[in-house]
Structure 1
């Protein structure tokens, strides 16, 4: 069954959404913001292996001038436990972040094209990513509008949960053909320079019942917390609902020997309004990215129930901020 292109579906606003941004016009780098982020993740079954990839690029600006691009790329083989990651900050004379079209590039990774044909590539020690994506279905506007406040930051974020994907992942010289689905996330905001204030967790929950969910759980430096999910179903209908704070049931902590950060690797996701209870487990546990600031980007499995029916799925878990022991 062919799913309509997302660019065609943009002509109609999904039920429950009131967009405060323009998905197509806001795809390229936006001047006037300290941080622009492009985030792509995928999950595949190939030749008996369960594989995940991540490419995350964000451009940093000071005083309206783009100074560089931070990049991270990783591949996780859940079947063997293999994990490879590349990360680093690249000054703008060694990187690109175009404002007239989507082109973000560093010496190790690249993201370019349109929503109808998006090219993603990255080189990792012992591995590589080379895939082409096509956005289909419906967009997800976080908080129902794509704009929300977090720690005093005016954050813009939209997600495209369904991108038909084809290409290859290479691990230790072995090439895996991949086809399936990727998730794309676009975000920009004015964020203070220096280490992030407070800490937050984000997840993209891809469930077997067809739901796609963007989850935010944030705790500010003053100890106050906010937690919510934005869910869309197959029709694109949006539901924004409160989430029980993840920290209450997070467990299986992993202490990074490099950064000293202490990250949970198992979570209970409880959303009463949706009658949803999920168990999320990162595998392997060691999935830290050390760019400008240490953070966690972990491929994870999902199981549980929605409205009394069993569901399964997958996601990435991102943790940023003060996760020191």
Structure 2
């Protein structure tokens, strides 16, 4: 079955969504925000291997002036346990960001094009990513509007859960042709400089029943938490539901020998309103991105039940902040 292009579906607003942003107009860099972020991830089966890729670029601005681009790229081979990652902060004279169209580049990664033809490339030691994405289906407006408060930050975020993907991933000289689906996130916000005040976890839950969910769990230093999921089904309908705080079911903690940061690598995801109980497991455990702040970006498997029926799936888990306590 041919899935309609996302750009065609944008002519109507999905049921349950009340957008506070414009998917097309807000794709390129937006001036006046400290952080502009573009994030692409994919999950594929290729030649008997289960592969995942991540490319995350964000432009940092101070006083309205873009000073640089932070980039992270990783590849995870769940079959062999191979993991490669490259991170770097690039001053603006070594990177480029466009505000008239989507184009973000660093010396070893780039993300450019349109939603009908989005190019994602990255290089790291012994590996590379070169894929082209085509947005189909429906957008996901986080929290139903695409705008929400998180730890005192005014955050704008939309997701595109289904992008038809083709291209290649190279690991240690071996080329893996890839085809399937990627997930794309666009976010911008006015975030205070310095270490995060509190911690947050994000997941893109791709389930075998056709559900796509964006999960947020934010915990302030005083212990207050805000946790929810935004569900979009195959018709584009949105449902926002409360999530049991992840700390209640997080376990299998891993201590990074590089940053001394502590991260869980197994989680229980419980959403009563959706009658959904999931277990998420990162494989391998060692998937840290050592950036401006300690950050975990882990390819993970998903299993559990929705309304009494078994489901499986996959996701990435992003964690930022202090999990030591």
Deviation at 1:75, TM superposition (A): 0.2
The match for 1:100 is 100
The match for 1:40 is 40
Q: 2:196 is paired with a residue of what secondary structure?
A: coil
In 1, the alpha carbon distance for the partners of 2:43 and 2:139 equals 19
In 1, the alpha carbon distance for the partners of 2:109 and 2:25 equals 23
The match for 2:190 is 190
Matches within 5 A, 1:9-28: 9-28=9-28
Q: Which runs of 5+ in 1 are unaligned?
A: none
Deviations 1:119-177 (A, max 9, x none): 00000100000000000000000000000001111000000000000000000000000
Question: Any conservation in 1 of the 2:212–2:232 contact (CA below 8 Å)?
Answer: yes
In the superposition, the TM-score normalised over structure 1's length comes to 0.99
In 2, the alpha carbon distance for the partners of 1:323 and 1:229 equals 21
Q: Which runs of 5+ in 2 are unaligned?
A: none
The match for 1:292 is 292
Question: Any conservation in 1 of the 2:294–2:320 contact (CA below 8 Å)?
Answer: yes
Deviation at 1:321, TM superposition (A): 1.4
In 1, the alpha carbon distance for the partners of 2:65 and 2:221 equals 28
The match for 2:280 is 280
Deviation at 1:294, TM superposition (A): 1.1
Deviations 1:66-94 (A, max 9, x none): 00000000000000000000001000000
In 2, the alpha carbon distance for the partners of 1:31 and 1:238 equals 29
In 1, the alpha carbon distance for the partners of 2:103 and 2:299 equals 26
The match for 1:232 is 232
**Aligned Cα root-mean-square deviation (Å):** 0.6
The match for 1:30 is 30
In 2, the alpha carbon distance for the partners of 1:158 and 1:222 equals 28
In 1, the alpha carbon distance for the partners of 2:74 and 2:224 equals 32
The match for 2:117 is 117
Deviation at 1:323, TM superposition (A): 2.8
Q: 2:119 is paired with a residue of what secondary structure?
A: strand
Matches within 5 A, 1:1-325: 1-324=1-324
Q: 2:143 is paired with a residue of what secondary structure?
A: helix
Question: Any conservation in 2 of the 1:260–1:324 contact (CA below 8 Å)?
Answer: no
Report the number of matched residues: 325
Deviations 1:244-282 (A, max 9, x none): 000001000000011111100000000000000000000
In 1, the alpha carbon distance for the partners of 2:108 and 2:252 equals 32
In the superposition, the TM-score normalised over structure 2's length comes to 0.99
Deviation at 1:207, TM superposition (A): 0.1
Q: 2:83 is paired with a residue of what secondary structure?
A: strand
Question: Any conservation in 1 of the 2:297–2:317 contact (CA below 8 Å)?
Answer: yes
In 2, the alpha carbon distance for the partners of 1:221 and 1:293 equals 16
Q: 1:26 is paired with a residue of what secondary structure?
A: coil
